[in-house]
A = this chain, B = another copy of it.
Amino acid sequence: MAVTPDATHDPGRRSWIDSANREDTDFPLQNLPLGVFRRKSESRIGVAIGDRIFDLHAAAGAEIVPPRLREPCLAPRLNRLLAAEHAAWPELRGWLSDVLSMDSCPASLRSIAEACVLPAAGVEMLLPMQVGDYTDFYASRHHATNVGALFRPDQPLLPNYAWVPIGYHGRCSSLVISGTGVRRPNGQLRPETGGSPVFGPTRQLDYELELGAVVGGTNALGEPVPIAKAGERVFGLVLLNDWSARDIQAWEYQPLGPFLGKSFATTLSPWVVTLEALAPFRTTATPRGDGNPPPLPYLTDAADVAGGAFDLQLDVFLATERMRRDGIDPVRLTRSNLRHLYWTLAQLVTHHTSNGCNLQPGDLLGTGTVSGPEPESVGCLLERTRRGTAPLPLPSGETRTFLEDGDEIVLRAFAERSGYRRIGFGECRGRVLAAHPL
């Protein structure tokens, strides 16, 4: 469903919440991302608007939310909303856009709505949904090629890459919300010269810049989702840092793939930016040719080719302990763009369900590291420092090959286009903590 921009995207629409009208906010009236926060020791659904949260739970309790949306909005996570019929999503967006706008909100409604607004600062955010299954893809050809070149210089890209949206199952229990500390994992580290492995803290802790697609709707086990319907199965996107311990991963991953090198923590940003909010930023999918075969028919759809990708700028910042102490601004490590992906979100959904696998509301699909073609657009240190052989100088006089204790990584994303308000994602933040004592 390539949503067409509508009145909810009109940049002329202003909110009665002042901070939503500022040029630099991530959360203007045109965004309306959903998240879950703690209030009165409850887990509640809310909407980010400027520097405020609109408490949807309170609004549903006050019975101003459209009737069929009330029950899902009273739930402690987004899962019931994600399970609702597809038409409920634009209905909710349209209602929110009206009720939070300066001009479209009747006075009677506005006073009730005002009572549902609280400052975002200091509020504890929670995981927006209960994730039944988390799948991580490998959808950037640039990333796959760069990483492959480090391990197989003669054959950077394996023969299946051009054909198969490569993915693997990830760990749900260690998904954490932005701001959670990330303990450096211990693990078996590959022996240098064929001797015994050593068990201890990873020496190659890395970040991975990814987007996470939040699944809505259901397909029964055994029922694939055709490509023309697959776009409807993605509700929205979050930032995702797929923390990786490269030495643990390198030693363990043959032949069944990454396991403990990834499962110690995966950080999500709290606000789910809907695909409806991103409609103006749709763009054409990565063209094939130049050695890349056209996708097989089950992965081919004209509308998806025309608008299945998103022009979304992605940034990664690092602040070390010394940088924070010396008052040095975080340094940007990566500037990439989601449009660089080789596969669209719809292709990922269709491939995932092509064997009959059932995707459920709240499932999470990671894109894999979103690296682009330029040197500064690579999405992890493994690529950036060429497996630690090219240390990165920092403005503090330090260098980094991989992450040190105390390092903090922040992912950001935003979409910009002339004639539209800028749509931001907030941040996905995590600081490295010392390893558990052996």
Q: Which of B163, B183, B188, B221 contacts A176 (CB 8 A)?
A: B221
A169–B183 CA distance with the chains assembled, in angstroms = 21
Quote the shortest CB–CB distance from A141 to chain B (angstroms).
14
Size category of the A interface is 35 or more
Assess the B257–A222 pair: CB atoms within 8 A: no
A41 within 8 A of partner (CB) = no
A171–B170 CA distance with the chains assembled, in angstroms = 9
Assess the A169–B171 pair: CB atoms within 8 A: yes
Q: Which of B260, B261, B351, B360 contacts A173 (CB 8 A)?
A: B360
Q: Which of B185, B263, B355 contacts A260 (CB 8 A)?
A: B355
Assess the A173–B132 pair: CB atoms within 8 A: yes
Assess the B259–A186 pair: CB atoms within 8 A: no
Across the interface, which residues of B come within 8 angstroms of A172, CB to CB? Answer: 132-133, 172
Given A252-B166, A355-B264, A358-B173, is A297 in contact with B259 using a C-beta cutoff of 8 Å? no
Which residue in chain B gives the minimum CB-CB distance to A187?
A: B355
Q: Which of A169, A197, A199, A357 has the most CB of B within 10 A?
A: A169
A42–B373 CA distance with the chains assembled, in angstroms = 55
A25 within 8 A of partner (CB) = no
A129–B187 CA distance with the chains assembled, in angstroms = 30
A167 within 8 A of partner (CB) = yes
Given A188-B163, A196-B163, A265-B221, is A357 in contact with B171 using a C-beta cutoff of 8 Å? yes
Which residue in chain B gives the minimum CB-CB distance to A218?
A: B173
Quote the shortest CB–CB distance from A197 to chain B (angstroms).
5
A159–B192 CA distance with the chains assembled, in angstroms = 13
Give 5 nearest A-B pairs by CB, closest first.
A257-B257, A185-B355, A169-B169, A168-B256, A183-B222
Residues of A within 8 A of B (CB): 132-133, 135, 138, 148, 158-160, 163-164, 166-174, 176, 183, 185-188, 190, 194, 196-197, 199, 221-224, 245, 248, 251-261, 263-265, 293, 296-298, 351-352, 354-360, 363, 433, 436, 438
